[in-house]
Amino acid sequence: MKPYAFVSAIALAALLSSCGGGSAGKEIKIGGIGPVTGEAATYGVSTKQGMELAFEEWNAKGGVLGKQVKLVFADDKGDPAEGATVYTKLIQQDKVVAIVGTVMSKVTLAGAPIAQAAKIPMITPTSTNEKVTQTGDFIYRACYIDSFEGNVGAKFAFDDLKAKSAGIIFDVGNDYSKGLAENFKNTFEGFGGKIAANEGHPSGATDFKAQLTKIVQAKPDVLYVPDYYNDVALIAKQARELGYKGPMVGGDGWDSPELVKIGGAAVENGFFTNHYSAADSRPVVQDFVKKFTAKNGAAPDALATLAYDAVYIMLDAIKRAGKTDGAAIRDALAATDLGVVSGQVKFDANRNPVKSAVIIEIKGGAQVYKTTVNP
């Protein structure tokens, strides 16, 4: 189903007539969206924590335009239909002037058309599917895109792991997973590598042995698994049970403490592309890690970091715009040149940031920084 199908003509008309009320009084309302329940709940929890820390810091320094900024957070449950509902609510009922969200590409693709139609600027922290910012000129992102991430994964597999053949297993119902799989395949083949097996699985599956049996029989040098952490853990365990002993590579969807909890030893010798590493020695990174850990009791993952960065990017744009008009914020976002935790951010013509990526290894039950790959 196309994301636009979630938005009726009546709903759009209501949205368009209700914009612009989020800066009344002594505060400016900013919407925040993430899945704090559902299949990717750890993503939403991290995202919310990152946003909350950023808002606290801005308010401690006086807010924006002489007003405090208020985070109005909504749970999209990792579901596109629910995502469309909360986007509508934030704009129509809560009257936010901007939105930071959401996490999963499939949900962002449902919400972005709503923000675009209402001329409410939004920035997704982590939705890497290329179609997201193609929705329109009010839609930005703080993360790199699938084509870059898939390319980095393929380059690492071919150059660093010396893999000459690869097996791929991906979620056929997930835009994020499909996008990474396609870009990995194209780049790996472009290097001269062979795709020994390329298998899709349905969303919500827990038994992957039919697909993995075909892959394991093809004897690939590396297994590419561009799924979310819960699926990755089960795929890894089942692949190991079927006799696959080689390395596995994936995307930022692996980034959750639940990956090792669920997957255990099966995810060892696993590598994934990510947006940041807590091991980065830059002072801005170490200062953020210290503050976040003190507040939340654990070090920030990439989801928390990008959410924190996305808030800074949005509030910086509102400050430079000098007002909360949607078009003014949009134009200020386009002119962004800001150093944040995950790097220096400028936007290209498609409202995507040009940023570096890191490779994280699962080793000894922990995430270990491996290397940085520049664009």
* Residue 263 and residue 314 in one domain: no
* Residue 302 and residue 192 in one domain: no
* Residue 138 and residue 227 in one domain: no
pLDDT for the residue 20: 45
pLDDT for the residue 374: 73
Sheet containing 27-34: order of strands: 68-75, 27-34, 98-100, 122-124, 139-141
What single letter denotes the amino acid at residue 271?
A: F
* Residue 101 and residue 60 in one domain: yes
The angle, 0 to 180 degrees and rounded to 10, between the axes of the packed helices 209-217 and 229-241 is 50
Give 4's pLDDT tier (boundaries 50, 70, 90): very low
248-265 pLDDT per residue, tens: 999 999 999 899 999 999
Residue 371 belongs to a domain: no
* Residue 111 and residue 171 in one domain: no
Residues 6+ apart with CB under 8 A from 356: 343, 372, 373, 374, 375
Q: Which H helix or E strand runs over 371?
A: strand 366-373
Task: Quote the CA–CA distance of 18 and 256 in Å, as a whole number.
Answer: 38
> What would the mean pLDDT of 226-248 be, rounded to a whole number?
97
Residue 373 belongs to a domain: no
178-222 pLDDT per residue, tens: 999 999 999 999 999 999 999 999 999 999 999 999 999 999 999
CB atoms near residue 189 (< 10 Å): 13
Residue-range definition of the domain harbouring residue 58: 3-144+283-355
Question: For all residues of the chain together, what is the average pLDDT?
Answer: 92
* Residue 270 and residue 150 in one domain: yes
> What would the mean pLDDT of 225-240 be, rounded to a whole number?
97
Q: Say whether pLDDT at 369 is over 80.
A: yes
User: CA torsion angle for 29, 34, 36, 40 (degrees, to 10)?
Assistant: 180
* Residue 76 and residue 119 in one domain: yes
User: Is-contact 31 72, C-beta < 8 A?
Assistant: yes
> What would the mean pLDDT of 21-40 be, rounded to a whole number?
87
Residue 363 belongs to a domain: no
- Whether the upstream peptide bond of residue 108 has omega within 30° of 0, thus cis, is no
pLDDT for the residue 19: 45
* Residue 263 and residue 292 in one domain: no
Residue 374 belongs to a domain: no
Buried (b) or exposed (e) across 54-85, using 16+ Cβ within 10 A? bbeebbeeebbeebebbbbbbbbbbbbebbbb
Give 9's pLDDT tier (boundaries 50, 70, 90): very low
Residue pointed to by tokens 């992957």: 208
Q: Say whether pLDDT at 18 is over 80.
A: no
User: Is-contact 245 263, C-beta < 8 A?
Assistant: no
User: Is-contact 200 171, C-beta < 8 A?
Assistant: yes
Residue 368 belongs to a domain: no
pLDDT for the residue 26: 85
* Residue 129 and residue 219 in one domain: no
Q: Which residue has the higher pLDDT, 375 or 75?
A: 75
Residue 195 belongs to a domain: yes
What is the percentage of the chain residues whose pLDDT exceeds 70? 93
* Residue 129 and residue 206 in one domain: no
Residue 28 belongs to a domain: yes
The residue length of the chain stands at 375
The DSSP output letter for 160 is I
Task: Quote the CA–CA distance of 78 and 7 in Å, as a whole number.
Answer: 18
Domain end point (choices 232, 255, 274)? 274
User: Is-contact 131 63, C-beta < 8 A?
Assistant: no
> What would the mean pLDDT of 51-56 be, rounded to a whole number?
98
Give 282's pLDDT tier (boundaries 50, 70, 90): confident
* Residue 109 and residue 219 in one domain: no
87-136 pLDDT per residue, tens: 999 999 999 999 999 999 999 999 999 999 999 999 999 999 999 999 99
* Residue 223 and residue 254 in one domain: yes
Give 12's pLDDT tier (boundaries 50, 70, 90): very low
Domain end point (choices 233, 253, 274)? 274
Residue 139 belongs to a domain: yes
Per the structure, the count of domains in the chain is 2
Give 343's pLDDT tier (boundaries 50, 70, 90): confident
Domain end point (choices 213, 245, 274)? 274
List strand residue ranges (DSSP E) for 222-365, in order. Answer: 222-224, 248-250, 270-274, 337-340, 343-346, 357-363
pLDDT for the residue 72: 98
Tokens for 235, please give them. 């795929």
Task: Quote the CA–CA distance of 102 and 116 in Å, as a whole number.
Answer: 14
pLDDT for the residue 6: 39
CATH code of the domain covering residue 176: 3.40.50.2300
> What would the mean pLDDT of 157-179 be, rounded to a whole number?
95
